[in-house]
Amino acid sequence: MKHSTVIPLTPLPTSRGDLAASPESARFKRRFHVMAKPTGSACNLDCTYCFYLHKEQLLEQRRGQFMNDLTLETFIRQYIEAQDGDSIVFSWQGGEPTLMGLDFFRKVVALQQKYKPAAQRIENNLQTNGTALDDGWCTFLKEHDWLVGLSVDGPRELHDVYRVSRAGKPTFDHVMRGVDCMHRHGVSFNTLTVVNRVNARRPIDIYRFLTRELGATYLQFNPCVEPTSFRQVAPQFWDETSIPVVGTARAKPGTEGSVVTDWSVDPDDWGYFLNRTFDEWYREDLGRVLVNLFETAVAQTMGLPSQLCITAPFCGKGLALEHDGRVYSCDHYVYPQYELSDIFTHPLNEIAFSERQKTFGFEKKASLPAYCRSCSHLDLCWGECPKNRIVRAPDGEAGLNYLCPGIRRFHAHAGPRIRQIARSIQPPRHPPTGHASLP
């Protein structure tokens, strides 16, 4: 399908994206989203770039210590009570959530029905590596209309570079068996691809694999950016004296003294990946395939709220719930310094709107360097994810996003066509937020 078809850019259903509601709209509505991690960091794979496996040691999780029945019921009840929208979206992540087994998720469905208000509907999504999906799983997922987020990094030779088993073996064939099973049972799924130092140079191969071979029509691309100290040091607790200037050797992967791990994507490669993927999407699939970063760029250009937390002017509406009921400010901030409380001490609604979490949400976006504030793309970027703000601006000011060169490259390249798409859909319902939205 060519680009003559108008793409649907009303805000994506919450189970189709990374965050339940845009942070801008959430400033006016008391809504929030929780990523529940019933297995904690436990996983059946040992992906090289995983930012969560080390939480087992960091949070002192005993092996095999998963979410118990009391924590599960308390979470489901509190989360439903706290939501005032037409739909209530549960996101089950990990680690690898399928390690809980099907009986656990049958309890989930039963408890959701027990506490569900008559006027609201329940939606569920399951983020998985797909290796455990079989007829039993897919029958359950289809019967209860669960959306699957499938982690897959491209064709075999790219996927297997970093996504390996505990024994260091390739996992591609196991994932493809899961894909085949979902197709047979008619299970809806999206794809989540971690763009890393290796696969970033193969954007067209990845895009065509996901859309042509897997048949995916909604794609999420997440850039892999991990500071070398990520296992021990929480975001924003870095040693500022070690932060390099953007564009220098230490601000790139694979160099001596680099600020990031060897598997992190190169900032310039991130721009290359986005540009080539955008061109292919625009030329071949506009109106048929949704890409998270492209959809939100069009929506924001139309003056609508961001559909993703990373491109919104404020953070803080996407909490992470660990297996034991402890709640953290964000999925990427599961460190002791960002533990808010637990659901037995305070209910979720109080935790989500606590002063501490409000401060987290506003400060992480508001404290952008002058280099960002003067950027012509600020209204589409807002400094991207704060966890990636690990380099200095050209003038030496700290707090610039590591991916900045690639992000600027993308918006400069795709901007004219994004504006064209926005004009073809409808005029903005509200004026753009403008730089004045930043405190």
Q: Could you give the residue numbers annotated as active site?
A: 331
CB 364 within 8 A of CB 439: no
Task: Determine the Cα–Cα distance for residues 264 and 8; give it in Å rounded to an integer.
Answer: 32
What is the token pair recorded at 324?
Answer: 């034991």
- SS3 category, 271: helix
Task: Determine the Cα–Cα distance for residues 120 and 426; give it in Å rounded to an integer.
Answer: 30
How many C-beta atoms surround the C-beta of residue 374 within 10 A? 9
Strand order in the sheet with 33-36: 290-291, 218-223, 189-195, 147-151, 121-128, 87-92, 33-36, 318-321, 326-328, 339-342
Task: Determine the Cα–Cα distance for residues 6 and 383; give it in Å rounded to an integer.
Answer: 29
Q: Is the peptide bond before 95 cis (omega within 30 degrees of 0)?
A: yes
Task: Determine the Cα–Cα distance for residues 428 and 202; give it in Å rounded to an integer.
Answer: 35
- How is residue 99 annotated by DSSP? G
Task: Determine the Cα–Cα distance for residues 323 and 325; give it in Å rounded to an integer.
Answer: 6
- SS3 category, 148: strand
- Element containing residue 194 per DSSP (H, E): strand 189-195
Alpha carbon of 26 to those of 85, 294, 381: distances in Å?
A: 11, 22, 18
Task: Determine the Cα–Cα distance for residues 400 and 393; give it in Å rounded to an integer.
Answer: 6
- How is residue 77 annotated by DSSP? H
- How is residue 187 annotated by DSSP? -
How many C-beta atoms surround the C-beta of residue 26 within 10 A? 24
Alpha carbon of 211 to those of 189, 208, 312: distances in Å?
A: 12, 5, 27
- How is residue 161 annotated by DSSP? H
CB 388 within 8 A of CB 402: yes
